[in-house]
Structure 1
């Protein structure tokens, strides 16, 4: 999320000043409230706390990532999902001028930033240390309900969101940059990943993009974005929602844990939950691992282009090597199964060998 030529610490200082100065833009925020940074990735996100137990979440958007119209479309889908009962989503506060999207400025930053103030969502994310199958079965069902919804939802005019396809990951103007620029992508690692890119592109071309496979998706539907309490389950963080393959939502769900030995059971649980709501053909199920590799390559590029932020910096050591190991295993399986099309020959699940790495 860094502004060119500005160290992250300096950028966050300016954004922190912007966040605090912006609070009076919303009637709902009590006088004297404070904004405290609690996450930085694509955007800077702040917990806003004030008198009477008031809490809200302020998102300051990354510069040049989403247009104002794109953010309006995100909020429209949030409202539509909640109104239709598909899944509970976070509400958001209108500003004093009635607009949910406000503009923030700070001395030291040339460009203004878009801002949205979301309702604080109670609940905790499922524990990722234990048995993940119940959480992923629910995640699969939620994904299927969202996918069924978008097939019938009349989207607003001039609907604008990012696209998560092969060009967005591998093209000359890739959304998160070139994976080749990520740390530790050298020698044999790059050679393997070049082959992975070619094979992913070919399989996605063959898979096709009909609207019942490629449509509006959440694109970051991880357990960390599910909040659960006695009141039910809520889905948050739609910042990456956009056009993509429905199966990409599973790949995004296992971001950063693709080599976890629990993945076969996790995938089976997600598919089981999905099929409890919406059909998933054997051929589609067989292609899930292609989307896992697409997402993993996207994450490798993301680490390289966001290396100043704490999470990518922490993830970087060994990430490229593990991506190549996963890719080599995937290519080997495809070689063994090259005699039949994916629509009739389900592939074996993605498995990791040896010690787990990021």
Structure 2
């Protein structure tokens, strides 16, 4: 397996700049490094954000499908990034054919001036995040605008991706890995989670996948993927976009806040904001606890394959008791 470090990522980024007719010597500043390397840069008085994608994370067709989705939302007036077209007319370029790191996809978007992200996962779980319920109402409206715009634009996924459906969440081979592989999950706690997975399959199976409940979603609406700007919230990073339940986006927005002492206020505000744009019915509210727990389980599955990484260890230790609590609550209903 080829490991790409910051130096290699910067070299790949500079190779890509030429594909957008930008100066390869422009100064690059690292903004984020997780699945992708994300840099900021300026050229000719314009500010940009450039992503060097993790090798093999998505095929070219899958990435093209993701960017088409963002463009469809942008065309409907949703607050999302504005991507720059490469020389060949595609929304990204491929570089590194002669680089030791190998072939990588790189895309470029206009930088969104912002005052930082909506929040962060760690203070949410710790219960120290100081957010106003009005923030969640605005976030709910944004999530609903994404789902409404998807329907209005007529967008359909041209390329299959790992769907956030029943099997993708809690099937024999979940999309993000098996949460039961976490070694710390033992005894009665493990039994509670196993029972909850069975309940999730039962509840979501009955809920079904009609178009008004299930379709293309962002799927990673965490606090760090929402920017605060002078014009309101902006949704970024569609890496995990695929077909899924619309409520999955709301579950992702709330999951890390479930241990927070103001969780009830935040949940009610999020749903109120969402329903001010796009109505929900009683079945949506009834099934939400199952989708919320299913979302949490995906992070455990993700962590099982990344033991030793700080974020994975945090999920497998600090956040794990919250999963057990939600599991017990679900099966007790």
Q: What TM-score, normalized by structure 1, do the two folds share?
A: 0.82
Post-superposition Cα deviations, 1:175-223, rounded to whole Å, max 9, x if no partner, equal 2111122352233332221111111111100111111111111112233
- CA–CA distance in 2 between the matches of 1:165 and 1:179? 16
- CA–CA distance in 2 between the matches of 1:95 and 1:215? 29
Number of the residue aligned with 1:96 = 87
User: Given that residues 73 and 156 in structure 1 are in contact (C-alpha distance below 8 angstroms), is that contact kept between their aligned partners in structure 2?
Assistant: no
Number of the residue aligned with 1:38 = 31
Number of the residue aligned with 2:57 = 65
**Residues 1:15 and 1:164: Cα distance change in structure 2 (over 3 Å):** same
Post-superposition Cα deviations, 1:251-295, rounded to whole Å, max 9, x if no partner, equal 110243322222211111011111111111122112211111000
Task: Work out which of the residue numbers 45, 53, 69 in structure 2 matches 1:77.
Answer: 69
- CA–CA distance in 2 between the matches of 1:30 and 1:11? 22
SS in structure 2 of the partner of residue 234 of structure 1: strand
SS in structure 1 of the partner of residue 49 of structure 2: strand
User: Given that residues 136 and 266 in structure 1 are in contact (C-alpha distance below 8 angstroms), is that contact kept between their aligned partners in structure 2?
Assistant: yes
User: Given that residues 74 and 161 in structure 1 are in contact (C-alpha distance below 8 angstroms), is that contact kept between their aligned partners in structure 2?
Assistant: no
Task: Work out which of the residue numbers 96, 107, 112 in structure 1 matches 2:103.
Answer: 112
Number of the residue aligned with 1:273 = 273
SS in structure 2 of the partner of residue 37 of structure 1: strand
**Residues 1:175 and 1:34: Cα distance change in structure 2 (over 3 Å):** farther
Post-superposition Cα deviations, 1:138-193, rounded to whole Å, max 9, x if no partner, equal 11112222222222332357343331122112334322111122352233332221
User: Given that residues 69 and 160 in structure 1 are in contact (C-alpha distance below 8 angstroms), is that contact kept between their aligned partners in structure 2?
Assistant: no
User: Given that residues 214 and 243 in structure 2 are in contact (C-alpha distance below 8 angstroms), is that contact kept between their aligned partners in structure 1?
Assistant: yes
Number of the residue aligned with 2:151 = 151
User: Given that residues 31 and 50 in structure 1 are in contact (C-alpha distance below 8 angstroms), is that contact kept between their aligned partners in structure 2?
Assistant: no
User: Given that residues 303 and 313 in structure 2 are in contact (C-alpha distance below 8 angstroms), is that contact kept between their aligned partners in structure 1?
Assistant: yes
- CA–CA distance in 1 between the matches of 2:6 and 2:201? 37
SS in structure 2 of the partner of residue 103 of structure 1: strand
**Residues 1:293 and 1:156: Cα distance change in structure 2 (over 3 Å):** closer
Instruction: Describe how 1:1-358 pairs up with structure 2 within 5 A.
Output: 4=1, 11-27=5-21, 29-41=22-34, 43-50=35-42, 54-85=46-77, 87-105=78-96, 107-109=99-101, 111-124=102-115, 125-127=117-119, 129-155=129-155, 158-307=158-307, 309-332=309-332, 334=333
- CA–CA distance in 1 between the matches of 2:200 and 2:310? 29
**Residues 1:232 and 1:265: Cα distance change in structure 2 (over 3 Å):** closer
**Residues 1:316 and 1:157: Cα distance change in structure 2 (over 3 Å):** closer
- CA–CA distance in 2 between the matches of 1:64 and 1:187? 37
SS in structure 1 of the partner of residue 243 of structure 2: strand
Post-superposition Cα deviations, 1:301-327, rounded to whole Å, max 9, x if no partner, equal 112223454433444323323311221
SS in structure 2 of the partner of residue 328 of structure 1: helix
How many corresponding residue pairs? 323
User: Given that residues 81 and 110 in structure 2 are in contact (C-alpha distance below 8 angstroms), is that contact kept between their aligned partners in structure 1?
Assistant: yes
Q: CA deviation at 1:230?
A: 2.2
Number of the residue aligned with 1:351 = none
**Residues 1:48 and 1:256: Cα distance change in structure 2 (over 3 Å):** same
SS in structure 2 of the partner of residue 57 of structure 1: strand
Q: CA deviation at 1:51?
A: 5.1
